[in-house]
Amino acid sequence: MDDRTRWDARYRNGAYAERPWPSTFLEQNIVALPSSGGDGSHGHDKALDLACGAGRNSVFLAQHGFTTQGIDISAAAIAAGSAYACQVKTKVAWRCQNLLEQTGGKNLGRDPIHDLGHFQLIILFRFVAPGLLTHLMDHLLPGGHLMVEEHLQHDLGEQIVGPRNPDFRVAPNALLGEVEAASQSFDVIEHFAGLVAEPSGEKAAVSRLWVQRHL
């Protein structure tokens, strides 16, 4: 079974339906993200949500005024996101696309969003795509922000939620290493690796990186 078929099946069976809330990392920092206007709105700022799933973060960004595009491999997830956006009367542009190369399930140096232009904000949450962050820096506008959160490799035991396969987790400094390989200069706003509390009350081990491209 290929990735698209597997994820379509999971979303059709209600995967993540019990988690409609946006990422805590994004929600806590939305007011600190760039604003084009003086009133705190983001009406002229473009945002890209990669591996958006059923669109919880895409919709959240659109509700805060970003012109938002969400990308995911699963057509079922995109359909769920589109229905949710319509339900809350919010507009998001959706695109069904595999961000990884088919061979080996890895991004083999290719920029999968080469045709999408530039964004004021790009987010990638809990989807490991080796090599992708280096490309994403090239898609930030000057002054633009990249926010990433991944499951972290750990030895904390079974009480930590998230994937058991270490291929779907990252080492503590892996995210920063990928961004440092880009040609763009940047400032680090947040770099964190450790335990966080999920909205459900469970514990997760995560690596977070938030950088801003230099003007």
Query: What was the pLDDT predicted at 43?
Result: 57
DSSP-based three-state secondary structure for 16:
coil
Residue 38 has pLDDT above 50, yes or no: no
Residue 197 host element (H or E): strand 186-197
Give me Rg for the CA atoms of the chain: 16
At 52, is the pLDDT very low, low, confident or very high (cuts 50, 70, 90)?
A: very high
Q: What is the mean pLDDT of the chain?
A: 88
Cross-strand partners of 46: 67
Residue 126 has pLDDT above 90, yes or no: yes
Q: How far apart are CA 97 and CA 115, in angstroms?
A: 13
Let me know: does 144 contact 34? Beta carbons within 8 Å. Answer: yes
Domains in the chain: boundaries: 3-8+46-213
The tens digit of pLDDT for each residue in 54-80 reads: 999 999 999 999 999 999 999 999 999
- Among 21-30, 57-66, 197-206, which stretch is predicted with the lowest mean pLDDT? 197-206
Q: What percent of the chain has pLDDT over 90?
A: 66
Query: Which tokens go with 81?
Result: 């996101």
Residue 108 has pLDDT above 70, yes or no: no
Q: How far apart are CA 59 and CA 78, in angstroms?
A: 12
Q: CATH number of the domain at 3-8+46-213, please?
A: 3.40.50.150
- Among 42-56, 121-135, 176-190, which stretch is predicted with the lowest mean pLDDT? 42-56
Q: How far apart are CA 43 and CA 29, in angstroms?
A: 17
More confident residue, 95 or 198: 95
* Burial of 183 from C-beta contacts in 10 A (0-12 / 13-18 / 19+): exposed
- Among 39-48, 52-61, 84-93, 132-141, which stretch is predicted with the lowest mean pLDDT? 39-48
Query: What was the pLDDT predicted at 71?
Result: 97
| Rounded alpha-carbon distances, angstroms, from residue 18 to 15, 52, 111, 130, 158 | 8, 16, 33, 28, 21
Q: How far apart are CA 183 and CA 185, in angstroms?
A: 7
